[in-house]
Amino acid sequence: MRSVLVTGCGSGIGLETALAFARRGDRVHACVRDPATAGELLRRARAEELTLDVPKLDVTDDASVTAAVTAVQDRHGPLDVLVNNAGVDRTGPAETMPLEQARTVFETNFWGPLRVARAVLPGMRARGSGVIVNVSSLAARTFAVPHGGFYAASKAALGALSEALYAEVQPFGIRVVCLEPGSFATAIQRASRAGAADGQPPGTGPYAADHAWLDRFLARVAEGAADSAEAARAVLAAADDPTTPLHTVAGDDARAFSRARGSSGTGTGPRLARPARATPRPVPRSAG
């Protein structure tokens, strides 16, 4: 039985990952920022007669991270596996998106995983083993979609941090995997479709023409999104297999992109007509 901590378990990949570990008999700490969002997780766990702990953990808050990890390790010892899954997305142009919202993306998607990793690493080092799976995104590998620059940048930054961390902790018997899922049906995807966070009412501002395009693009991505359970299986495989590469993709679209890039340096994904002034390749978003 391994002790596993997963962040962002209220829905999507985090929820499915927590349940998948619990089915195997692992001791699962399925963390949520707000306990009110854990209803679906608890309902499904009860239906399958699974046992898991649901600590409150806000990855953007130092005190919350310290309190949750300390409580878990005081009861069960150092963690065997950390899955940094919690993530958010805010869409908006680089010029007009409120900086507060842009900072929220980095605070959750980049600084959040670092906070939790720092909290669990001393225990892993002391024991001489452990696995950290950072859930990034295919968006970190591809040309950033318009209005998605901050999300893509935060995930690319997480990938770079994972590379450094991989080399730093390897001598202590700790593995790091940066999982890069393609498009999966998750709450983060639905939130992306809620509207552009550019500080302008829809239909106004210098990038008004992009609003309709962005909505069509996100709808296309949602149509082709895979079940989050597939991404959860990729997380478990990364945690189990010591030969898993540092950068590992998940999902058919991500695998197709990797194959295409290996041969020609180009990616694949949904394409939609864009205003004539800019035509970069759209990139699907993932959870986490």
Instruction: Supply the residues annotated as catalytic.
Output: 151
Angle between helices 228-240 and 12-23 (to 10 degrees): 50
DSSP 43-94: HHHHHTT---B--B--TT-HHHHHHHHHHHHHHH-S-SEEEE---------T
Say if residue 66 is exposed, middle or buried (CB neighbours under 10 Å; 0-12, 13-18, 19+): middle
Say if residue 128 is exposed, middle or buried (CB neighbours under 10 Å; 0-12, 13-18, 19+): exposed
Give me 207's structure tokens. Answer: 């990038």
Q: How far apart are alpha carbons 212 and 196 in whole angstroms?
A: 10
Give me 286's structure tokens. Answer: 């993932």
Residue whose C-alpha is closest to residue 136's, from 67, 91, 188: 188
> What does R_g of the chain's alpha carbons equal in angstroms?
19
Torsions phi, psi for 60 (to 5 deg): -90, 0
Ordered strands of the 81-84 beta sheet: 27-30, 3-6, 81-84, 130-135, 174-181, 247-250
Whether the CB-CB separation of 283 and 145 falls below 8 Å is answered with yes
Residue whose C-alpha is closest to residue 55's, from 7, 1, 118: 7
